[in-house]
């Protein structure tokens, strides 16, 4: 009876729609859980005199990041109606003014110095004092500023702590997380068996947050305008990750439609699972190796079940995130050994940490100031060469794990031959030290590879091929750096296009250099996991693909429908195009003809 009433209410309730960037093709139905600040327990501690300057610097960096965040939000107000935009801009201007006010900035720096306390405690103290002043005034305008002050305080605290959303474990099971932003580190904390999906206001389709969503098979939508002003905790939502559509308070009819879609997807997955033990063999018997990209050890079972022939990309940087100390050699070794053993003799390609950009561990974050363009800054191999001690620890752990199964070492963000030579010197030093430490170790230098993900690397692929044993083409960054489009910025997400002729030519250039030098080249960017791209990549000569394990069956199915001869002819016809739309149309025709 109660159910009948609820269902008839649903029938007549008005549903609302929001649109964003769908980043995984799954669908979720669940209850919204809005995360406001995400701040857990604030750290409070005393600092020594020598650390005062560092602590003040850390605070100033947090303020400048918070300012940048506000500017981005302000830029987005252009898309709103005039009245809403004006109101929001006034509010954001007020926040910027508070962030930069002497009372706040000098006040907090003075408290850090005089009381010798950490920046988080100082922010809390000063915000509290300013807020107290406001509560004593009876003016409604000023008392509204009280909320602004606390908001500004939370904004700085969030930047200071790079706070992961520690509250995830307390969120009711089956919830859909709603948040302004989720960093890749935050996303790594999500337990996909407990959370139904997530929707954020910021973030683009190829960000590491999006990649994490796909690798967890979690329905997710990023870059959703007006999200936080529209959705309330407790509302029922449908998250259609394929079409980037969010339906609030869906009618019974809509709910049933989506339930049918979920069931159809399950049926398809069951059918595809039958391909698990079949090889990715084209119609004319060309074999393609299907490998998995993984971030965490928990993906091993999924990768094996999906029939992965190895790990083509292990993003080790995730071992460094969401923690207050960096992982030591023993910890890294234990984790890597478990992954190598877990793959039961299949090769594991361990990419050395690609930290920096959108993934900087808290500890290093305090050491290096935030660059204006983190994606162009101290990232990946550049950071490894600068932080050699940290790098040596990782290399030692990798070399030790190599005793337990075949592994390769892959270097991210290579842009010069010199970088590889430097890494080789470091590697040799590490081997000598390890042998001294344990003379009975039977160590051999694992194959060393370079990610080709910067246009410079693609253009000098011939010289790089003399220095390394293999290439892995990272089309996510290659697209970003070729087109100068931030892969994580929803405002330019529509321009992010791996099918741009410039990107395709760089891929082909790299593949040709690899062929000339007899070096294998895989593709491990997100396009490797999109069946639409498979005919093109195979036609261009790619014989090794690495992708989120969830994509393996669908890509395999497409490969098994292909013939390499026609694929090569059509791939070269696509390469002749100068127009992005024409490229896309030709590729779609190609897929339809299969």
Number of neighbours of residue 101 by Cβ within 10 angstroms: 13
Distance CA 246, CA 348 (A): 38
Residue 218 — φ and ψ, nearest 5°? -100, 130
Binding flags for ligand PEP, 352-371, as an x/- string (CB under 6 A): --x-----------------
Going 412 to 414 to 417 to 419, the CA torsion angle's sign is: negative
CB of 38 to ligand PEP, least distance (A): 24
Q: Is 117 in the site for ligand PEP (CB under 6 A)?
A: no
- Tell me the window of 63-71, 91-99, 454-462, 470-478 that interacts with ligand PEP (CB under 6 A): 470-478
Residue 474 Cβ vs ligand PEP, minimum distance, rounded to whole Å: 3
Nearest distance in Å: CB 496, Mg ion:
14
What CA–CA distance (Å, rounded) separates 404 from 348? 11
Residue 431 or residue 492: which is nearer to ligand PEP going by CB?
Answer: 492
Residue 299 touches which member of ligand PEP, Mg ion, none, C-beta under 5-8 Å by kind: none
Region of 81 (left: φ > 0; alpha: ψ -120 to 50; beta: rest) is beta
Considering the complex, state which of residue 204 and residue 525 has its C-beta at the smaller distance from ligand PEP. 525
Is 466 one of the annotated active-site residues of the chain?
no
CB 244 within 8 A of CB 50: no
Which residue in 128, 208, 466, 500 is the catalytic one?
Answer: 208
Give dist(CA 384, CA 451) in Å, integer: 15
Q: How far is the CB of 208 from ligand PEP (least distance, A)?
A: 6
Site mask for ligand PEP (CB under 6 A), range 307-326, x = bound: ------x-x-----------
Question: CB of 380: closest distance to Mg ion in angstroms?
Answer: 8
Could you give the CA distance from residue 540 to residue 478 in angstroms, rounded to a whole number? 17
Which of 76, 90, 96 is closest to 181 using CA atoms?
Answer: 76
Q: What is the x/- site pattern for ligand PEP, positions 429-458, by CB under 6 A?
A: ------------------------x-----
Under rule CB under 6 A, which residues in 59-98 are in contact with ligand PEP? none
Partner whose footprint covers residue 525, from Mg ion, ligand PEP, none (CB < 5 to 8 Å by kind)? ligand PEP
| Residues in 392-431 at the binding interface with ligand PEP, rule: CB under 6 A | none
Q: What 8-state DSSP symbol labels residue 169? A: G
Count of residues of this chain found to bind Mg ion when the rule CB under 5 A is applied: 3
Restricted to residues 197-216, the positions that interact with ligand PEP (CB under 6 A) are 211
Nearest Cα to 164, choosing from 151, 148, 177, 173? 177
For residue 295, state whether it binds ligand PEP (rule: CB under 6 A).
Answer: no
Nearer to ligand PEP, 525 or 541 (CB): 525
Stretch that binds Mg ion, among 155-163, 190-198, 207-215, 474-482 (CB under 5 A): 474-482
489 binding ligand PEP? (CB under 6 A): no
Count interface residues toward ligand PEP (CB under 6 A). 11
- Judged by CB under 5 A, the residue of 186, 295, 477, 490 near Mg ion is 477
Helix (H) or strand (E) holding 30: strand 27-34
**Minimal CA–CA distance to 244: which of 216, 192, 203, 195?**
203
Using DSSP's 3-state secondary structure scheme, residue 406 falls into: coil
Binder of residue 315, out of ligand PEP, Mg ion, none (CB less than 5 to 8 A by kind): ligand PEP
Is 524 a binding residue for ligand PEP by CB under 6 A? The answer is: yes
Site string for ligand PEP, 209-248 (x = CB under 6 A): --x-------------------------------------
In Å, how far are 421, 426, 538, 545 from 433, measured between CA atoms? 19, 11, 43, 35
In the three-class reduction of DSSP (H, G, I as helix; E, B as strand; rest coil), residue 31 is classed as strand
Residue 529 burial (CB count, 10 A)? 25
CB-nearer residue toward ligand PEP: 73 or 375: 375
> Residue 32 or residue 222: which is nearer to Mg ion going by CB?
222
Closest distance of CB 312 from ligand PEP, Å: 9
d(CA 19, CA 495): 17
Given 525, 529, 535, 541, the residue binding ligand PEP (CB under 6 A): 525
475 binds ligand PEP (CB under 6 A): yes
Stretch that binds ligand PEP, among 15-23, 121-129, 282-290, 473-481 (CB under 6 A): 473-481
Q: Which residue is nearest to ligand PEP (CB)?
A: 474
State which of residues 310, 474, 529, 535 lies at the interface with ligand PEP (CB under 6 A): 474
Residue 209's alpha-carbon distances to 23, 267, 361, 432, in angstroms, are: 9, 27, 15, 38
Q: By C-beta, is 162 or 522 nearer to ligand PEP?
A: 522
Answer yes or no: 208 catalytic. yes
**Burial class (CB within 10 angstroms; exposed 0-12, middle 13-18, buried 19+) of 372:** exposed
Stretch that binds ligand PEP, among 26-34, 48-56, 475-483, 562-570 (CB under 6 A): 475-483
CA 113 to centroid of chain Cα atoms: 37
Residue closer to ligand PEP (CB basis): 211 or 587: 211
Q: Residues near 251 by Cβ (< 8 Å), separated by ≥ 6? A: 10, 11, 12, 13, 15
Which residue number, 47 or 336, has a Cβ lying nearer to ligand PEP?
A: 336
CB 305 within 8 A of CB 338: no
Helix (H) / strand (E) element for 197: namely strand 197-200
Which is nearer to ligand PEP, 122 or 542 (by Cβ)? 542
DSSP, collapsed to helix, strand or coil, labels residue 223 as coil
Question: 451 pairs with which residues across the strands?
Answer: 472
Among 474, 535, 541, 553, which residue interacts with Mg ion (rule: CB under 5 A)?
Answer: 474
CA angle at 447 for the pair 445 and 448, rounded to the nearest 5°: 100
Task: Tell me the DSSP string of 309-350.
Answer: SSEEEEEGGGGGSSSSS---HHHHHHHHHHHHHHTTTS-EEE
Q: What is the DSSP string of 567-591?
A: HHHHHHHHHT---HHHHHHHHHHHH
Applying CB under 5 A, the span of 292-300, 402-410, 472-480, 501-509 interacting with Mg ion comes to 472-480
Pick from 387, 477, 486, 490 the residue near ligand PEP by CB under 6 A. Answer: 477
Whether 221 contacts 21, CB under 8 Å: yes
What residues form DSSP beta bridges with 581? none
Residue positions annotated with a catalytic role: 208, 524
Binding site for ligand PEP (CB under 6 A): 211, 313, 315, 354, 453, 474-477, 524-525
Binding site for Mg ion (CB under 5 A): 453, 474, 477
């Amino acid at each position: 009876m109660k159910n009948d009433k609820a269902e008839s209410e649903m029938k007549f309730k008005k549903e609302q729609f929001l649109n964003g960037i769908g980043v995984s093709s799954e669908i979720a139905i669940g209850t919204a859980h809005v995360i406001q600040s995400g701040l857990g327990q604030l750290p409070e501690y005393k600092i020594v005199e020598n650390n005062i300057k560092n602590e003040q610097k850390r605070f100033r960096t947090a303020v400048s990041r918070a300012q940048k965040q506000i500017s981005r939000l302000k830029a987005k107000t252009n898309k709103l109606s005039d009245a809403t935009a004006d109101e929001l801009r006034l509010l954001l201007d007020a926040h910027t003014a508070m962030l930069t006010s002497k009372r706040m900035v000098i006040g907090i720096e003075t408290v850090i110095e005089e009381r010798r306390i950490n920046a988080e405690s100082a922010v809390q103290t000063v915000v509290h004092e300013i807020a107290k002043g406001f509560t004593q005034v009876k003016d409604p305008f000023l008392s509204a500023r009280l909320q602004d002050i606390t908001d500004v305080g939370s904004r700085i605290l969030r930047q200071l702590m790079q706070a992961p959303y520690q509250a995830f474990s307390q969120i009711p099971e089956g919830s859909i997380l709603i948040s302004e932003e989720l960093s890749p580190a935050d996303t790594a904390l999500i337990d996909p068996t407990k959370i139904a999906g997530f929707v954020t206001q910021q973030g683009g389709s190829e960000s590491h947050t999006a990649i994490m969503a796909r690798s967890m098979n979690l329905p997710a939508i990023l870059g959703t305008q007006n999200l936080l002003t529209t959705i309330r905790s407790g509302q029922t939502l449908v998250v259609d990750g394929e079409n980037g559509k969010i339906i609030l308070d869906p009618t019974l009819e809509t709910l049933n439609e989506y339930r049918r879609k979920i069931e159809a997807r399950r049926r398809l997955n069951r059918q595809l699972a039958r391909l698990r033990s079949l090889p990715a063999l084209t119609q004319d018997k060309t074999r393609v190796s299907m490998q998995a990209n993984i971030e965490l050890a928990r993906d091993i079972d999924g990768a094996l079940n999906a029939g992965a022939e190895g790990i083509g990309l292990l993003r080790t940087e995730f071992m460094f995130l969401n923690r207050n100390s960096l992982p030591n050699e023993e910890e890294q070794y234990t984790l890597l050994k478990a992954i190598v053993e877990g793959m039961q003799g299949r090769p594991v390609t361990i990419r050395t940490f690609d930290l920096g950009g959108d993934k900087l561990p808290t500890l290093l974050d305090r050491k290096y100031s935030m660059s204006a363009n983190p994606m162009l800054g101290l990232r990946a191999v550049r950071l490894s060469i600068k932080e050699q001690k940290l790098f040596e620890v990782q290399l030692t752990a990798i070399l030790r794990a190599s005793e337990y199964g075949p592994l390769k070492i892959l270097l991210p963000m290579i842009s010069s031959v010199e970088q590889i030579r430097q890494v080789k010197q470091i590697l040799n030093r590490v081997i000598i030290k390890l042998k001294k430490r344990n003379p009975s170790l039977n160590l051999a230098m694992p194959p060393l590879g370079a990610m080709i993900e910067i246009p410079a690397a693609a253009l000098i692929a011939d010289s790089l091929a003399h220095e390394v044993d293999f290439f892995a083409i990272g089309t996510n960054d290659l697209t970003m750096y070729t087109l100068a489009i931030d892969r994580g910025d929803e405002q330019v997400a529509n321009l992010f296009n791996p099918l741009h002729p410039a990107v395709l030519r760089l891929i082909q250039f790299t593949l040709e250099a690899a062929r000339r030098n007899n070096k294998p080249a895989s593709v491990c960017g997100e396009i490797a996991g999109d069946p639409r791209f498979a005919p093109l990549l195979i036609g261009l000569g790619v014989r090794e693909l690495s992708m989120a394990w969830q994509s393996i069956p669908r890509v395999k199915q497409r490969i098994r429908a292909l013939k390499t001869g026609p694929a090569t002819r059509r791939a070269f016809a696509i390469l002749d195009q100068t127009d992005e739309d024409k490229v896309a149309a030709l590729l779609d025709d190609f897929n339809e003809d299969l």
